[in-house]
Amino acid sequence: MRLLDQRALPGETIYLDCRQPDEVMEAIRTLTVRGAPAIGVAAAYGIAQAMQLAVRTKDLHANSFDAIFDETCKRFGATRPTAVNLFWAIKRMQETAARWHIRGLHERAAMLVEEAKRIHAEDVEMCLAIGRHGAPLMPQSGGVITHCNTGGLATGGHGTALGVIRTAVAQGKQIHVWIDETRPLLQGARLTAWECAQDKLPATLITDNMAAHVLKLGHVHAAIAGADRIARNGDSANKIGTYGLAILCKYHNIPFYIAAPTSTVDIGCDSGAHIPIEERKAEEVTHLGGQRVAAAGVDVFNPAFDVVPHELIAGIITEHGVAKAPFEPDLVAMVARARAHHNQVEPA
């Protein structure tokens, strides 16, 4: 399984060949691959890889297959707690394993590979649909600010929030992208800026604490971000700093949108208060490029995400349309449509 190492961008383009599922888990855990949809795709392939390797064992029997599969799913689920796409993809793989339970072990393993490929292909199609639904919400001309990275690197391809901008530009809109640097890991500076440069999208990079000033100057006409988990009421968790940007947009009367596939919606989660927030190691804050930049011995609080309350969100853009306040009816209906579509197209 070949993964682009996002930690090395933009300085180097390095691909990692993961030959064991443990290597895929570590890639997810260490942000070699990141972005909620991309994490889900990577996990699906990693689970399929584990079972391909397992069936090469001559003495493997059905109970062993099931035990290895269950343990692999559990371990992948422990890599990143906030991104619900991870658990959505794992559930899809579990449903496939259950559906083919009476078949031979090699056939069951092959079907898991096919399901991972379907998850990947569906993510690309969902992103393109998100772009089509979101593009009309973007200004005909003007600035759009975004936070973290929500492009092709974070998904199976095209992107969510950045995908909306890509689609709008392809339709002829004159958009200038304002990119939050996104501290402490600089996903905006390293990844979104890189993607904009690759696509020749007009863009300006700012540090996170410049956003208020840029909005005050009138350079921004809309804001759009992705999400790692969306609660049933519309509260949306995204990279730390998104909540602050949403507050700034509210003050300056700028619409703030979330763009994410329905696989990011957690219908079982009532509100943002119940979204688990991953806390990461202190070195991400105290060090930059491997060099210490903070005083030794200082305590660090390093949550990876914050939650934007639904009251600050103008619309949630999914592959099935744009959910508006009150968000719950629209989100529930969209998730139901997505499930119905999956049930219609899944293999017999």
> Which sequence positions are flagged as catalytic?
228
DSSP label of 303: B
CA dihedral 341, 342, 347, 348 (to 10 degrees): -80
Amino acid at 139: P
Amino acid at 272: G
Over its C-alpha atoms, the chain yields an Rg (Å, rounded) of 20
C-alpha span between 65 and 305 (Å, rounded):
36
Amino acid at 12: E
Helix (H) / strand (E) containing 223: strand 222-225
Kindly report whether the peptide bond that precedes residue 10 is cis, defined as omega within 30 degrees of 0.
yes
Q: How far is CA 310 from CA 45, 137, 190, in A?
A: 33, 18, 29
What six digits make up the tokens of 237? Answer: 């968790």
User: What number of residues does the chain have?
Assistant: 348
Pairing of strands 291-292, 287-288: antiparallel
What six digits make up the tokens of 192? Answer: 């979104």
Buried (b) or exposed (e) across 225-240, using 16+ Cβ within 10 A?
Answer: bbbbbbbbbbbbbbbb
